[in-house]
Amino acid sequence: MTDSEKLGLGLDDIIRRDRNTNRRGGRGGQRGFQGRGGSRGGGQVNGFRAQGGGGLPRPSNAPAGRWKHDLYDDNTNRARGVQRNSGVNSTTKLIISNLDYGVTTNDVHELFEDIGAVRAAHVHFDENGQSLGTAEVIFERRADASTAQQKYNGLNLDGRPMDIKLVGGVDSGLPQQTNRGSFVNGNNSGNQRSGFRFNNQQNGNRGGTNRSRGGGGGGNQQGNSIRGNTKKETITAEDLDAELEAYRAERNNQCLNIYCSSNSSFKYDRKIFEDPNNAAAEAIKLTHEYGSTYLDEYINSNLFLIEENLQQIINKSKETNNWTLLQNLIYSVFSNRQNLSSSFLQKTFPMNILLNNETSSSASATAKSNFLHDSRITLENDEITLDFDMMKRSIKLLMSYEDEISSTINNALGVLFKQISNELSSSKKDELENDANFINIFFIIFQLPCLSDPIFIFHTAYAFYSIFSKLSIDIQAKFVRVLAKHKDSLNAYVAHLQQYITMHTVKWCDHTHINSTNEALLSSEKGMHEGLYVLRILFYANLLGSERETLEILETERENDQRMEVELINRRQRHNDDGADDGNNDQQGQDQQQQQQQQQQSGEQRENRSETATISPTRHRSSSFSMRTSTSEQDEMESIYENPLQIKLGLELNEYRHGYLPFDDFINEFANEKIEINKEYLDFVRQTPDTLHFSFILYPFFLSTINKIALLNIENKVQMYRQRHTSFFHSLFSGIRLDPFFKICVRRNHLIEDALIALEYQGIEQPAELKKQFFVEFEGEQGHDEGGLSKEFFQLITEQIFSPEYGMFMADEETRSLWFNPSAPEDLDREYMLIGMLLGLAIYNSIILDIKFPPVLYRKLMGKIGTFEDLETSHPTIYKSLKNLLSFNEQQDGTTVEDAFCLTFQVGITDATGSRVTFDLKENGENISVTSDNRAEFVRLYSDLLLNKSVEKQFHPFFHGFLLVTGDSSLRKLFRPDEIELLVAGSQALDFNQLASAAEYDGGYTKDSSTIRNFWNVLMSFTDEQKRKFLRFTTGSDRAPIGGLARLKLIISRNGPDTDRLPTAHTCFNAFLLPDYSSMEKLREKLLIAINNAEGFGLL
């Protein structure tokens, strides 16, 4: 007989029919502490009804005339979730967590019904039908719930200890709402299991014995005897009729509870729930009127957070000194993707999104996945539904009670991340990422301070950061853009990642310390890749959150790059043409014709490139990167350091002077100290495109300047090795010996002339020679260059070529830096190119030069142009004047800009000789006055003149020479302009205490030797100029390398007993040879003579 047919019968008919109905068997089996299984059969077990089976048996202990239908039996009607008000004092909920994922609702119900009457029980499942590892049980009596908590809390169920919390109760006289999806009549949609393991770690069993089900039971078992002796409450026929009506109503979806929305007499206007604020207010009202149960039911039915209801729940928890309610709310929200993403919504995105959502069913028959869509929210725009301010206030409030909820959040997030990860790995990924609220989750979780808690880092934080690599580039890009708009949160986000990276570095250090044979690189540490991946996303947001150069400036810089490339080609072509003219005059006409054709084709190509650049300001770049597929070394370097997200965002790192946060905030010094950059590079270059895995080399923003310099030096040495290798095989097979090194021989009296001839020829004719290791010989002098002679060469040539007699540069007394002379003779192109090549060679050979340029020069060497902001360091006096012009207030000062400043668009610049050169910023500039309306234009044009146009003829050949050496290196991709300055000129900050602490001693000296003590006393008493001379004497440069003087590793060796000989130095090894002088006065005298007469003497 079907259920619908049963509902048509009267109660007496049902009783008469079922009295004559034989009981059929049900699902049976032995349920024990360790095993599953058993036999099938019907009947009873120690006087109890066997569950399952067909028919409606009468329990054997029910006397005739007072038979109870099993649907309304005290121990079974609870399974239906039917509401009963008679004979019940209170109802209390238990929340069970840490359940094995295989435990079903049926298992939970069977377990807890041994204690007392269970109204409802169910396991929590996610959208995919997977268990969340939690469940809830509602008892009819508070005493039963308390007993169950005391008896089962901490005991193992299927191998995992249960964590059981008591939620609360409400008087039975109040209307009570059932919880949908509860256990119904022992049937849980096919999720029944044949048994489960229940272990008492202390006692070894539950209740001291086993419980049988079906025909397999029997015996005087303790568990069953307790239940069998439980006194059943008397229920009258009127009670049965009332409950049958309630059952019929519920089957027709007509709940009798006026607080249940399925009741036709529902107490509220349903529109109240369209606004979460109104719903929350009503929930709070019910809380104050009837206690905490209604608020608990609100948590179950409205699973999202807003500021008002969170504050009320916290207040209630504080009043009762019971944090279970808040913990349950937090777990319910933070363990479910939909619940968390729907929290803290803007008022312009209310519940209408939830009410008008599109629903799609997953492949699972037991779950549905709802994805919320709104036409205003797309992956291509920056709109989100999250109310950032409300969210941050609420999280701050929540974290005031971190001790009470920390563990709950940790457990909930573990469930949440598993759910999101599964969805992103499924066919629902696109729908999920287009969910209007989905992206909210990442901002909410990033706001949690506990994300930096060491307890969270290795599991919860790792799972969170792992999700980012599974996201599409489109949603990653949207995250970056949104975060850039809410950049005030960026500092906290970066702090999370830096703590995460530091803890994983510490963990790696522990591994290597315990296992000394462990050669695993820091980059191989589990979780390091995930941390750097997300940190790079934040780095991009940091750039977007700062000020980018204007489109006009960027377009000008791209045009300059293209023009420079063409000029380099033409310069080489002219050099080759000159050589051809000298070698073969007979074919001059033919050569000129071919040259014209080539130039014509080149011109057409340039026009095409120019048109393309005009149409698309952003140059085309491949979205995939690989070291092995580039068509040139330049393309190879670009492909290595670019990635799809950067390309999607259209980011060029050097288009930003600075980020919202300092760039150093993204460098983890502790981790950088542990990076073995040599091994990282070797591991990286051995990879193939198919096996390319994480390497710090792909994240230059994270590397310290010291590590980037080391990486560049390795790259340069590899280039040198390749040239040696090529030279060797060329000599082997052709019989013509090629020098594996780039050697030049110069005369001290003709230093610039000889250097020009050698460098210009190699740079134009054979640019590959510049990639070889650089060696210098001084004509007529003995000695092999192991670094010292090269340092001296660079020192001498820079002193000569920057001297005023050449007129190429002029010194600024205020900044003590050099700048191009705008009136320099036009025939100095070769000399300017030489200086540019020297800068490139110094970088390529790790030599620090004794020169000082303003920071804007290094920006220009990176392809940038000078702007007003650069004047602050290059022309500080002019910068202050122009800044006053821009900020001048005519109303406040009572005069106009014209009268106050008396400026026109014709300006003058002082050259190296002190003469004033006049320039018109605009045509007929002398007659155009600077006013309040055009002063911004004046400042822009004047800055452009000072830093770009007035020195264009001088800077271009200088830049050419620099690119001849560095053009195909990763210099631009690895370094910022300020770091290039350190590469070229080192640091002027000198700490000789660092030099002393890092010094090493040889030949019999120790740090306690009397001569060594005298030496340091003498050196520390020197003036700054004398100290710099000592540095130049011992190392070849008076600048400190990046990282300070401690990185020089000065070696002081004993050079015999007391003598009249002077100290000497090996600059290539930073070795200082010091005789064992008898007194401090003698040491001072000899040392001063040596450092003041060092050129060409004592430098070995």
pLDDT value at residue 219: 38
- 924, with CB counted inside 10 A (0-12, 13-18, 19+), is exposed
- How many residues make up the chain in this entry? 1100
Is the Cβ–Cβ distance between 188 and 31 less than 8 Å?
A: no
What is the residue whose two structure tokens read 């002379």?
821
The answer to whether the beta carbons of residues 1022 and 829 sit under 8 Å apart is no
Buried b (16+ CB within 10 A) or exposed e, 978-1013: ebbbbbbbbbeebebebbbeebebeeebeeebebbe
Q: Residue 103's pLDDT is what?
A: 86
Residue ranges per domain, the chain? Answer: 3-180+190-220+232-251, 273-360+374-453, 740-858+954-984, 869-947, 988-1092
Q: Which two tokens stand for residue 1033?
A: 């004497």
Q: How far apart are CA 333 and CA 124, in angstroms?
A: 13
What class does CATH assign to 740-858+954-984?
Answer: alpha beta
Closest CA to 531 of 500, 490, 503: 500
- Give residue 65's pLDDT: 37
What pTM did the predictor assign? 0.65
Q: What share of the chain is helix, strand, coil (3-state, %, to 5)?
A: 55, 10, 35
pLDDT of residue 150: 87
Instruction: Encode pLDDT of 252-309 as tens digits.
Output: 444 444 445 554 445 556 566 666 666 666 665 655 544 444 444 444 444 678 888 8
What CATH architecture does domain 3-180+190-220+232-251 belong to?
2-Layer Sandwich (3.30)
The mean pLDDT value of the chain amounts to 74
In what side-by-side order are the strands of the sheet with 156-157? 160-161, 156-157, 198-199
Confidence (pLDDT) at 465: 96
pLDDT tens readout for residues 492-537? 999 999 999 999 999 999 877 766 666 789 999 999 999 999 999 9
pLDDT for res 455: 87
Q: How far apart, in Å, do the first and last CA atoms of the chain sit?
A: 109
Q: How far is CA 339 from the centre of its chain?
A: 25
Distance, CA of 561 to CA of 482 (rounded, Å): 32
Which residue, 81, 282, 65, 103, is CA-closest to 193?
103
Residues 125 and 820: their CA atoms lie apart, in Å, by: 73
Q: Does domain 988-1092 have CATH number 3.40.50.300?
A: no
Where b means 16+ CB within 10 Å and e means fewer, 461-477 reads: bbbbbbbbeebebbbbb
Q: For 295-342, write each residue's pLDDT tens digit.
A: 444 444 446 788 888 888 888 888 888 888 888 889 989 999 989 998
C-alpha to C-alpha distance for 461 and 410, rounded to whole angstroms: 10
Identify whether 509 is a catalytic site residue.
no
User: 1049, 1053, 1065, 1050: which is closest to 1002 by C-alpha?
Assistant: 1053
Provide the residue type at 870 as one letter: D
Query: Which amino acid is residue 777, in one-letter code?
Result: E
**CB neighbour list of residue 72: distance below 8 Å, 6 or more residues apart:** 82, 235, 240, 243, 244, 247
- Quick one: residue 640, left, alpha or beta (phi over 0 = left, psi -120 to 50 = alpha)? alpha
- Distances in Å between the Cα of 94 and the Cα atoms of 116, 143, 167, 288 are 13, 12, 6, 22
Query: Do the strands 48-49 and 44-45 form a parallel or antiparallel pair, or are they unpaired?
Result: antiparallel
The residues facing 774 across adjacent strands are 742
Q: Do domains 3-180+190-220+232-251 and 869-947 have the same CATH topology?
A: no
* CATH code of the domain made up of 869-947: 3.30.2160.10
Q: Three-state secondary structure along 937-986? A: HHHHHHHHHHHCHHHHHHHHHHHHHHHHHHCCCCHHHHCCHHHHHHHHHC
Residues of the chain short of pLDDT 50, as ranges, are 2-4, 6-12, 14-16, 18-89, 169-232, 251-259, 263-265, 289-302, 351-369, 579, 582-638, 1096-1100
The encoded tokens of residue 327 equal 């913990």
Q: Vertex 383, ends 379 and 387: CA angle to 5°?
A: 130
Say which residues have a Cβ less than 8 Å from residue 419's Cβ, sequence separation at least 6.
126, 127, 128, 130, 336, 337
Given the residues 255, 260, 450, 1068, select the one marked as catalytic: 1068
Looking up tokens 């799972």, which residue turns up? 463
